[in-house]
Every structure is written in structure tokens, then in C-alpha cells.
Copies of this chain bind each other. A is one copy, B any other.
């Protein structure tokens, strides 16, 4: 799957940590438009928005989510397509998707100037999401773009290293992950475990990961505000926006995706080729 000509190909990635309003799609469209324009103005070529940025997250009930849901032909994805075309950027953003048979999905679209390149449906549902959404059944999509091979997954998906392995082994350079990380207690001075897991996923695959979390408070739920862009060694390239109480903000990093195509971790080790899948398949010990 490796494309030629990616040597020292740098690309500027943005994560727009914004605070959508529950059930206010018009506001959220304005919010995402402003964020996308600001990011593009700052030089971003790939722009990641939070999970469910189109609808908000803490639905009152399934009926509310049904009212907010859009298809892939809906107004929000049309807006993002117009912006992708006008600004010549790639956009990854979360939305409440109405599927072919009226089921709802917690989805993310990858859009460029030509239109919707793919839609990923969250496969691992968090907490009450199962009361609203159907789980996706397809592995993270892998999409070749002018900026390298991109993959998309959503929030709780990241807690399953097997899930990250699939696109990583298939040749992804950058994993874009819209999230809504509910905040919780942790030992003082510790980086949130959500971010730690992303760092580990990046380093065991030598893959870049761009996580876009949300800001604000919604129906009593606070968020980690942990947006981060992590390099292929597993270290953050961006400052934390968490200090300001999960504030809105823009993170930017210029990365060399060719680094993700070099899986060597020592003179004699390749982090992917060193896997021993025949032993992992034993299932039980």
C-alpha cells in the first residue's frame, strides 16, 4: 500500500477543539465553519473536528438524536465539502448519521475537495451510546490522499489496540480520531490515561495520531479537553489545551508522514515485522 514519493512529505495537521451545543445544528455548523477557516488560515491541510461536533453528545434520548441525525447527503457534510473545496483542505469530522434503514451511527466523515471520501461508523460504543446508536461493523477505512494514507476511528475505539493495528498494518500514515473524552478523576500531575493510550498506540505502530477532543460542558458532563497530535515515536507534538479547563483552541503540527513508513526501532528491529501473529492466534494461554 506504500505510495512512492512520500519522502520528506510534510503536511500541516490541525485539531479544532471546539464546544458544540447539544441539539443546535445551525450553531454547530457555524462553529465548525469558523474553526475550519481559522485552521486553514493558519496553514492546516488536514483538519480534524471532534466526535459528534454536528449534533452534540449527551442526548436526552434516542428521539432527540433521531431529530438531529443527517445522512451523508445532509447539510453539514455539504457545508464541509464546500469548505474543503474552497480552502483545498481535508476535513475529518464527527456527525450523528442516519443510515440507510434509519438506524443511527456515531460516524465520522473524511472529506476533500472532491467530496466525501469515506464515512467511518464507530465500532466500540461507550456507555449509553448503545441506547442511541448501532455499532459499526467495518474496520477503520483507509484512504489514500494527496497527503498520504489516512485512517479514521472514534474515541473509545482507541482503547482497543487490535483496532488500531488494522489500519496501521495496512499502511496508514496518520490516524485521525474525533473524540469526546468525558473527564474523570486521576492522580495529581498525571497526564490523562486517554492520552497515554494514544501515545502507546502511536509508538507501537510508528504511526502519527491526531486526536480532536471537544471543549465546554454539556448537561453536566465535562471533557478532558485532551486534543493532541502525537508523532511516530509516541510523543506529543502539540501543547496541551487542558490547562484552560478544556478550553476551545486550535492545535497545529507540521509532520513528516514519511517517518510513519519507517517501522525500524533498532538496527535489527521492525516494530511490525517483529510481530508473531501465529502465537497471538492461540487465543487462550
Contacts A162-B161, A193-B199, A196-B199 given; indicate if A137 touches B279 (C-beta within 8 A): yes
Residues of B near A266 (CB, < 8 A) are 126-127
Contacts A170-B285, A204-B160, A271-B159 given; indicate if A276 touches B123 (C-beta within 8 A): yes
Can you add 12 more A-B contacts, CB < 8 Å, to A127-B267, A137-B279, A161-B200? A128-B267, A156-B269, A159-B271, A160-B276, A162-B275, A166-B284, A167-B285, A170-B284, A187-B235, A196-B196, A196-B234, A199-B200
Check A219 for interface membership: any CB of B closer than 8 A.
Answer: no
Enumerate 9 A-B pairs (CB-CB under 8 Å) in ascending A order. Answer: A123-B279, A127-B269, A128-B267, A137-B279, A139-B279, A151-B285, A159-B265, A161-B161, A163-B280
Contact with B along A143-162 (1 / 0, CB 8 A): 00000000100001001111
Q: Is the CB of A130 within 8 A of B161?
A: no
In the bound complex, how far is the Cα of B186 from the Cα of A236, in angstroms?
A: 11
In the bound complex, how far is the Cα of B127 from the Cα of A268, in angstroms?
A: 5
Check A142 for interface membership: any CB of B closer than 8 A.
Answer: yes
Task: Please classify how large the interface on chain A is, using the bins under 10, 10 to 19, 20 to 34, 35 or more.
Answer: 35 or more
Residues of B near A167 (CB, < 8 A) are 285
CB distance from A197 to the nearest CB of B (A): 5
Closest-by-CB residue of B relative to A139 is B285
Q: Is the CB of A235 within 8 A of B162?
A: no
Contact with B along A104-130 (1 / 0, CB 8 A): 000000000000000000011011101
